[in-house]
Amino acid sequence: MVDYVNLGYSPTKKDLVAMYYVEKAPECRNLEHACEEIAKESSIGTWTDISTMSADIAEKLKPSAYEIDSNNNIIKIAYPQELFEADNMSQILSAVAGNIFGMKIINKLRLLDISFPKDIVESYEGPSFGIEGIRKLTKIKDRPLLGTIVKPKVGLNETEHARVCGEAWSGGLDIVKDDENLTSMSFNKFQKRIEETLRVRDRVENEMGEKKIYMPNITAKVSVMKKRADIVIENGGEYVMVDIVTVGFSALQEMRDYLGSKKVVIHAHRAMHAAFTRDKTHGMTMLTLAKTMRLIGMDQLHTGTVVGKMEGDQKEVVEMNDVITKQKIKGNGLTTLDQDWGSLKPVLPVASGGLSPLHIPDLIKILGKNMVYQFGGGCHGHPDGTKAGASAIRQAIESVLDGLELSEGAKTKVELRKAIEKWGN
């Protein structure tokens, strides 16, 4: 019989370490029993002794549950890296976040974090652009990137969509992106939308002398995503957006390879993540998903706003942003593990969801300047329309970075003043 609990074990540099929150079922004796079953099911074991299990296999591939924190219901398991196909994220997650969630012996299970060993990290290219590459492309050095999402999410035709983008860019925003459920619709075909919108982008860039970015949503089957990416490139686009959860991990890896060779920035939208990240006692953390996205090679990633309409507290979002932007992380043992990213470029965090210009002081204070801040209704809902809403956002950023209160900046900025009048308490 293989013993999977070894509290005297110290993880090596070749181990993948997974940290879980566990609530055992009544038939589970204790957390040690839960550790045994989780480690067994996620690696080489099964529910009964088997004749095909050799001592050699057990010795080489057996994971070790090396820490049990009964006060916090947290366990840590070290897996030999030989258990994984290093450059296959789908296989890795099928092991450490697969069948274990369906075991009767556990009531609740949450994958809190994964620490990837050097050999696995080095099997991925990571982001093609990362923060430095994005700043070089956009020519924005000392402030956050500012963007909006075309609203309504769906319903506008291609020409109307392009017009809204033009108003947002003309008002001072850097970025306009598609929303997660806009792809190629009967009323708004992908290719025509790209052609119309990038034509408007070129005009606004020439008028304003500023770089403007459009992020079209190419989400579809892999073969279709490649064709859509090519349409973007052929029309002078430099960015695409992908719904990372719904397209799947293997599709993302293939698209990262395809787009990396074509020098296209990938914006990662996390639609559907809360289906498995929101329950604090079950599923997996957004942190875990974010780390897999840095490995796979997303250049930008939605991580949360702290303020606004989306779930995600300050500690969680700040920790996540640190993990995807810093090269080395010293974990706290309860919510994060140690991680060395080697030479992988950092991911640019994105805050989006229920934001208005009035949130900007808190956003800068909590999340800083190395961010993309996106405003949907907080741009288009301005009393004077989209262009004025974009201007109010740019004015709010400039006021904060100049050390002014928004009310002070609004004395000379009519668009900001009207935004305060609408959304102020």
Domain boundary among 121, 145, 162: 121
Q: Are residues 166 and 49 in the same domain?
A: no
Give the model's confidence band at 139: pLDDT under 50 very low, under 70 low, under 90 confident, else very high.
Answer: very high
Any domain includes 413: yes
Which tokens sit at 316? 């969680």
Average pLDDT of the residues in 137-153: 95
CATH of residue 32's domain is 3.30.70.150
pLDDT score of 305 = 81
CA distance 352 to 75: 33
Mean of the per-residue pLDDT values for the chain? 93
Structural domain harbouring 70:
15-121
Instruction: Note the pTM of the prediction, 2 decimals.
Output: 0.94
CA distance 201 to 237: 10
CA distance 26 to 376: 47
Give the model's confidence band at 313: pLDDT under 50 very low, under 70 low, under 90 confident, else very high.
Answer: confident
Which tokens sit at 188? 């708004």
CA distance 405 to 410: 9
Any domain includes 147: yes
Q: Are residues 135 and 117 in the same domain?
A: no
Residues of the chain with pLDDT > 70: what percent? 94
* 144: pLDDT strictly greater than 60: yes
Q: Are residues 114 and 154 in the same domain?
A: no
pLDDT score of 331 = 95
Catalytic residue check, 177: no
Q: Are residues 278 and 229 in the same domain?
A: yes
Helix (H) or strand (E) holding 372, with range, is strand 372-374
Q: Are residues 20 and 107 in the same domain?
A: yes
Q: Are residues 107 and 179 in the same domain?
A: no
Average pLDDT of the residues in 366-384: 95
Q: Are residues 69 and 136 in the same domain?
A: no
Q: Count of domains in the chain?
A: 2
CATH of residue 287's domain is 3.20.20.110
CA distance 165 to 91: 40
Any domain includes 6: no
Any domain includes 246: yes
Q: Are residues 117 and 198 in the same domain?
A: no
Q: Are residues 104 and 142 in the same domain?
A: no
Q: Are residues 265 and 220 in the same domain?
A: yes
Catalytic residue check, 151: yes
Q: Is 268 helix (H, G, I), strand (E, B) or coil?
A: strand
Any domain includes 10: no
pLDDT score of 353 = 85
Q: List alpha helices for 262-333, DSSP H.
A: 274-277, 286-296, 314-325
Q: Are residues 338 and 228 in the same domain?
A: yes
Indicate which residue of 269, 273, 291, 418 is catalytic: 269
CA distance 93 to 98: 6
Q: Are residues 100 and 208 in the same domain?
A: no
pLDDT score of 225 = 98
CA distance 377 to 149: 8
Indicate which residue of 151, 192, 226, 282 is catalytic: 151
Domain boundary among 67, 96, 121: 121
Which range of 49-53, 152-156, 412-416 scores highest in mean pLDDT? It is: 412-416
